[in-house]
Structure 1
Amino acid sequence: LRRMRVERGEARLNLGLDPRPRFGEVRMREPRREGDVWTAEAEGLRMRLAGAPDAVWRDAAGLCGVFRLREGETHDLVLELSAGRETERLDADALWRATEREWRQAVPDCSRLVAPRDARHAYAVLRGLTSVSGGMVAAATTSLPERANSGRNYDYRYAWLRDQCYAGLAVAAHGPHPLADDAVRFVAERILADGDGVRPAYTVDGRPVGHERSLRLSGYPGGNDLVGNDAGAQFQLDTFGEALQLFAAAAAHDQLTEEARRAAILSVDVVERQWLKPDAGLWELEDRWWTHSRLSVVCGLRRMAEVLPGKDGRRCADLADTVLRETRRRCLLPDGRWRRAEDDDGPEAALLVPMARGCTFGDGDCDAATRAYIESRLTEDGYLYRFEHAGMSLGEAEGAFLLCGFTMALATHRVGDRVGAFRWFERTRAACGPPGLFAEEYDVRQRQLRGNLPQAFVHAVMLECAVRLAGESTLP
């Protein structure tokens, strides 16, 4: 839907519409006008455009037209692209009303939350990134570079199970809303289908993600065109930990379906077999014995132990104790803080995630020491980075990670530092552009968003901050 309106004076607007499938290789065929609706087809796609009856179709340029509007006049255009042969009338007024009605119903009331307007906006972004299948893409774009001419640009138009769990947990903290049910359904389906072979990411309809490849297009300045994502073939242990937390949240709202319960039991089976195996971790790096992955699993197992009855619950609790005991042996330093990995003593912002979830691991000293160390080593001007890159200062290799800033706000709030939590929250939520969308990274020095957007898990954790900092969470 596109509405043109002249507030003052007169306006001339030019129309140019030349949709071409296969990234511009194929032109639409058989253009024709039926009443005030233009139609054309190609490669199984059908286009309909209402509102431009006087436009002209030119072979080299597509549909061309001119609109001249006087002060106070409005004019609507309706463009539809579909794989079927839709026959419903393209009534602009009716479609505007339906759009407004559907979005009001889709986004819950957030008036009691911190930053209610931003919270509703975050929820709307998550809803918009979620397919009818229940799968939520990590971002709507591909190949927007994180650093110019560095090869750091990726295709995020896929459903990462971890990211979807973050979104589901954030929504569930606010209440038993349909978006949380979508997350539970999609994650459960993938786990039941693939078991030990669960992939970190899928297409929104549940198919495997293809390997990275070039389309031989010019791409965004400073980057290169790219589709596919090699992370789809990795093993990421924390995916199961986050899934278990999501299923436990559903149970807390009495919305754990039988399918999700079976997926939870299967997740426990996989963890029992795989938790000693090195994995790629939250940041999808090389396979190592990452501390965060194990603590995520411990958190998920504990949450499920609270909601599963009988031997299943006891099994979760026992396995959590086993994983934690070995993780403490390998990854807890003598000074009381967590290592980044079994073989890496550096600071790691991913370790804030279990703290943000309210998971403690024996005593609070290791969490407090870890959080203080992360803040002292990974903070610049109130923004938080993921980890240190060898031989480089903060901000040199990549921007601050907004997920980390919001997670620090939650972790700080968990220990009762309300002022500190709000400081992190307000600083991080300011790192957006005019549309109010967050990217994955923020260049602190140049004040620029970096990478694909909108980044779903950033909006998700922002929403969770708005819920928990307001004291409105329906979950522990």
Structure 2
Amino acid sequence: MLHPVAGYGREPMREVRRGAAGEWQARLGGLALRWSGTEDARPEGDGGTHDRFTLELAEGRQRDLVLELGAGPLRTPAVHPGRAWAATEQAWASAVPGLAGTVAVRDTRQAYAVLRGLTSAGGGMVAAATTSLPERAEEGRNYDYRYVWIRDQAYAGQAVAAAAPGPLLDDAVRFTTARLHADGPGLSPAYTVDGRPVPDQHPLDLQGYPGGYDRIGNHVNRQFQLDCFGEALLLLAAAAEHGRLDDDGWAAARIAAGAVRQRWREADAGIWELGNRDWTHSRLICAAGLRRIAGAAPRGPAAREWSALADTLLADTGRRALHPDGHWQRSPDDPSLDAALLLPPLRGLLPADDPRTRATLRAYTAHLTDGYYAYRFRHDDRPLSKAEGAFLLCGFVTALAEHQQGNEIDAYRWFERNRAACGAPGLFAEEYDVAQRRLQGNLPQAFVHALMLEASARLARPEATARTQPRPT
């Protein structure tokens, strides 16, 4: 049965008639409607009106139906379902690579398709397609993620570079390059899809999602996040390594490196957008970006300068933010752990066998994970799952960290546990409520799909030092 209604249920179909080819046509609110493949459907209704169609098929039979809506009269021939299916399959085949060299091909292709779907014609990829879905009911933690975060854009570009370098990598580079040229050291953490400032956060005169609030805009527009420059450099380096960075891209790299030199001593809001501090991750990821772009650049003064600046950041951070136990701590004045500190070694700042890399992974998995679910940091004395949901981005990062150490069985355990933390359509939100087995926050969340894509690609290339037994937990 087809029962279309306009005006929030107030306006049924009118002017129901057959078209020249036997299809059904009607008016629906201010729209024209055409339903094809339904020549034997029956118009029905109450009170002498036809407001719905009924089509009956014998058991085992199938039918392709095409529903078209248009603002004006539908004068062109009706869409042919066979040709429409073929065109759709061809379009998706050209937009999404086969990704045969990954460990979960179907899910990895879907992750790629999600990232493609979240990317605008201008190259900007929104962080999520929704707004105001709560991370925790009645706690005020729901946000509008329908904007382009530079960090997320870089994550997606690096994931695509690891899996199948192509147009999505170019899109990420194009958007990030344009923003660096436009704003330089004043780069914002996030933009609208057309590169404008994100509006201030404000409420709507609408009822919010149950347990949430009605708000749009985002307070990120008032923050400085140093790590964005490091992530931008990592993205540009990944493009350069695949021969996909043009002169504008190299100029953007010089701008980003200059911004790091100018601003690395400033306190910033960090990856989790908290209060301003000398966040360890921000400085280490900038050092990783500088080192990576220096390695991708032609030999010369610029490469030497970038490499030297990376050494300076690493040395200063090592003096100020290395815990007495040997692992990286969140900031010089905060000795606790943070999932973000697993990222700089994965981006090439330090080797896998560096004592700081290994100590950080050991401490993190011991204190901020539970049952192969990962959490960002400890909010307070509550159990981890009481403070927030498992952070799926961090789960895939941990899989990559274990893989880097050659712990292949543990890496796959992390990957599979977090790959399963999705809804029926296979989409990931930012967080996962382990106790209630449900998604939390906006979805689909781009950076989770990006890290799933990257993990699937990298885990398919086992480390030479891979062990056959899991590391004790």
Same fold (TM over 0.5): yes
Provide the residue aligned with 1:377 in structure 2. Answer: 367
Is residue 287 from structure 1 mapped to residue 276 from structure 2 by the alignment? yes
Percent sequence identity is: 51
SS of 1:269 mapped into structure 2: helix
Q: Which residue of 2 aligns with 1:51?
A: 35
For 2:178 and 2:75, locate their aligned partners in 1 and report how far apart those are by CA, in whole Å.
33
**Correspondence list, 1:173-184, <5 A:** 173-184=162-173
Q: Could you tell me how far 1:38 is from its partner in structure 2?
A: 5.8
- Specify which of 382, 385, 393 is matched with residue 392 of structure 1: 382
1:18 pairs with 2:18 = no
- Are 1:440 and 2:430 an aligned pair? yes
2:430 aligned with 1:454: no
Q: Structure 2: 5+ residue runs without aligned partners?
A: 464-473
In structure 2, C-alpha distance between the alignment counterparts of 1:300 and 1:452, rounded to whole Å: 29
Shift of 1:151: 0.9
Give the superposed CA RMSD: 2.9
Q: Match for 1:250 among 209, 225, 239?
A: 239
Aligned partner of 1:65 in structure 2 is 52
| TM alignment of 1:171-210, pairs within 5 A | 171-210=160-199
What are the within-5 Å matches in structure 2 for residues 158-237 of structure 1? 158-237=147-226
Q: Letter of the aligned partner of 2:409 in structure 1?
A: V
Contact 1:112 1:472 in 2 (8 A): no
The corresponding residue for 1:4 is: none
Q: Measure, in 2, the Cα distance between the counterparts of 1:172 and 1:99.
A: 25
User: What is the DSSP-based 3-state SS (H/G/I as helix, E as strand, rest coil) of the residue aligned with 2:248?
Assistant: helix
How big is the shift at 1:355?
Answer: 2.4
Q: Does 1:240 align with 2:224?
A: no
Is the alpha carbon distance of 1:16 and 1:40 closer, same or farther for their aligned partners in structure 2, counting shifts above 3 Å?
Answer: closer
Match in the other structure for 1:91: 79
Q: How far off its partner does 1:455 sit?
A: 0.8
Report the CA distance between 1:89 and its aligned residue: 5.3
1:262 aligns with 2:251: yes
Q: 8 Å contact 1:78–1:90 — kept in the other structure?
A: no
Deviation track 1:175-226 (CA, whole Å, cap 9, x = no partner) reads 3211111111111111111112211111111111111112211121111222
Gapped runs of 5+ residues in structure 1? 1-12
Q: How many residues align?
A: 446
Check conservation: 2:32, 2:74, Cα contact below 8 A: no
Give the alignment's TM-score, normalised by structure 1.
Answer: 0.87
Describe the shift of the 1:19–1:299 C-alpha distance in structure 2 as closer, same or farther (beyond 3 A).
farther
How big is the shift at 1:357?
A: 2.3
- Secondary structure (helix, strand or coil) at the match of 2:102 reads coil
1:348 aligns with 2:338: yes
- Once the two structures are superposed, what CA deviation does each residue of 1:137-186 show, in whole Å capped at 9, x if it has no partner? 11111111111111111111111111011010000012321111111111
Q: Which residue identity does 1:409 align to in structure 2?
A: A
> Conserved in 2, the CA contact under 8 Å of 1:146 and 1:398?
yes
In structure 2, what is the Cα distance between the partners aligned to 1:178 and 1:88? 33
In structure 1, distance between residues paired with 2:3 and 2:132: 28
Asked if structure 2 preserves the Cα contact closer than 8 Å seen for 1:298 and 1:323, the reply is: yes
Deviations for 1:436-471, whole angstroms, at most 9, x for unmatched residues? 111100111111111111111101101111111101
Q: What residue in structure 2 maps to residue 143 of structure 1?
A: 132
1:7 alignment counterpart = none
| Partners of 1:438 and 1:459 within 8 A in 2 | yes
Residue equivalent to 2:466: none
Q: Based on CA coordinates, which of the two structures has the bigger radius of gyration?
A: 2
SS of residue matched to 1:453: coil
Question: How far apart, in 2, do the equivalents of 1:39 and 1:327 lie?
Answer: 67
Moved over 6 A (4+): 30-34, 39-42, 52-56, 84-88
